[in-house]
Amino acid sequence: MPNYAPLLRPARPDDHFAIEKICYEAFRNAPHASGVEALLTHRLHGNPALVRELDFVAEIAGNVVGNIVYTRSKVANDTREWETLTLGPVSVLPAWQRRGIGSALIEQTLKLARAMGFRAVILFGHEKYYPRFGFKNAEKYGITTPDGKNLPAFMALPLCKGALDGISGRFVYDPAFESIGKAESDAFNTRFQIPNPDVVFPVPSFLVTYVKPTIRNKNIIVGDFTYFSDVNFESRVTHHYDFYGDKLIIGKFCQIAAGVEFIMNGANHRMNTASTFPFYILEGWQQNAPPLSELPLKGDTIIGNDVWIGQNAVILPGVHIGNGAVIGANAIVGSDVDAYTLVAGNPAKPIRKRFDDELIELLQAFKWWDLPVPEIQKSSPSCPIAIRST
């Protein structure tokens, strides 16, 4: 996986669903996880105990991959109380774990908490992970769990010298952390277990992104559930200049491998002049740009539904690729591709049709990709017994 550097920024309300899903995915197979972490995070988003200035996300290529939150808490005994912070949950999408993202979130927010005047942080966490940030067993500071006990995962960190000196008492956290039943949590978590075209990372354990929710360019139109085996899909659409107005249109359920490039009309040079050199776009040359009618425009690039594009393939301007086609790895596609046809090579040429003409006609008429998700679940378009190969 490429070494993408995360952008750390305060969380926004429109991040909440992504954060809750990340929390669900990060903890669902983690040792000692209870399964309630996503619902807890959801509750905290509307809770006054949440310190919003310390609610941070880690963003990669515009997509949220990690989150950290803090809530107000206290240590109390029979005569006195001391304000503290509680750190957690901290969650990073499994595909992005062990890349320093969680550490970066912790280090930046601890520094900010210190600058805000908070004096100490308490958490329940991995006893071999958090000591690297200065956390020590809370027993050292005379602090016990709410039930008066101690355990290796219960840790505290003073944010300034002497902040925990003279403290003795029980940790008291916000009621949001209490009384989350398994049935309630399981019901909440079902929202993360059904196909959703608006999530960014549909396979949390490795790098796959649904393209549609990541697109910002109005001239790139992508259907539901089309995925890319990397992040930052728009960076793979090159020479795409607004003044040309050409569009890249991709259907539903397409599978686009890493390294694929869509070259748009801005890459073309005029061939009907003495030189192909584009004097008019380069600084210092006193030549006017030709009208668009004189430029070699090939029109929109249109990719059908359920198209599989292999690794490092290049799609040239104006190409139309039919439904169900397969583009071989490293292919250079400069001409249209019929539906359910496999092409490969440079230049890409037809290798064979995937099915006979009768079945192709039936599939084109059926348009399974336009069915509601429950109907697609029932129809099983990936089932091999429904296929007659040529």
Which positions are catalytic? Answer: 269
Question: Which residue's structure tokens are 């304000």?
Answer: 83
- Collapse the DSSP code of 366 into the 3-class scheme (helix H, G, I; strand E, B; otherwise coil) and give the result: helix
Give one DSSP letter per residue of 258-326, joined into a string.
TT-EEE-GGG---SSSS----GGGSTT---PPPPGGGS-----EEE-SS-EE-TT-EE-TT-EE-TT-E
Query: Helices marked H in 182-233 — which ranges?
Result: 182-189
Please list the residues that pair with 158 across neighbouring strands: 120
Preceding peptide of 347 cis, ω within 30°: yes
Question: How far, in Å, are 31, 114, 165, 200, 252 from residue 161 at the CA level?
Answer: 34, 11, 9, 43, 58
CB-CB contact of 156 with 136 (8 Å): yes
| DSSP conformational letter for 385 | G
Instruction: Identify the CA nearest to 324 among candidates 368, 262, 260, 390.
Output: 368
- Collapse the DSSP code of 179 into the 3-class scheme (helix H, G, I; strand E, B; otherwise coil) and give the result: coil
CB-CB contact of 104 with 8 (8 Å): yes
Give one DSSP letter per residue of 122-147, joined into a string.
EEE--TTTGGGGT-EEGGGGTEE-TT
What is the number of helices (H) and of strands (E) in the chain? 6, 24
CB-CB contact of 290 with 272 (8 Å): no
- Collapse the DSSP code of 20 into the 3-class scheme (helix H, G, I; strand E, B; otherwise coil) and give the result: helix
Question: Which residue's structure tokens are 């046809």?
Answer: 341
- By 3-state DSSP, what share of the chain in percent is helix, strand and coil, each rounded to 5? 25, 25, 50
Segment holding 84, helix H or strand E: strand 81-92
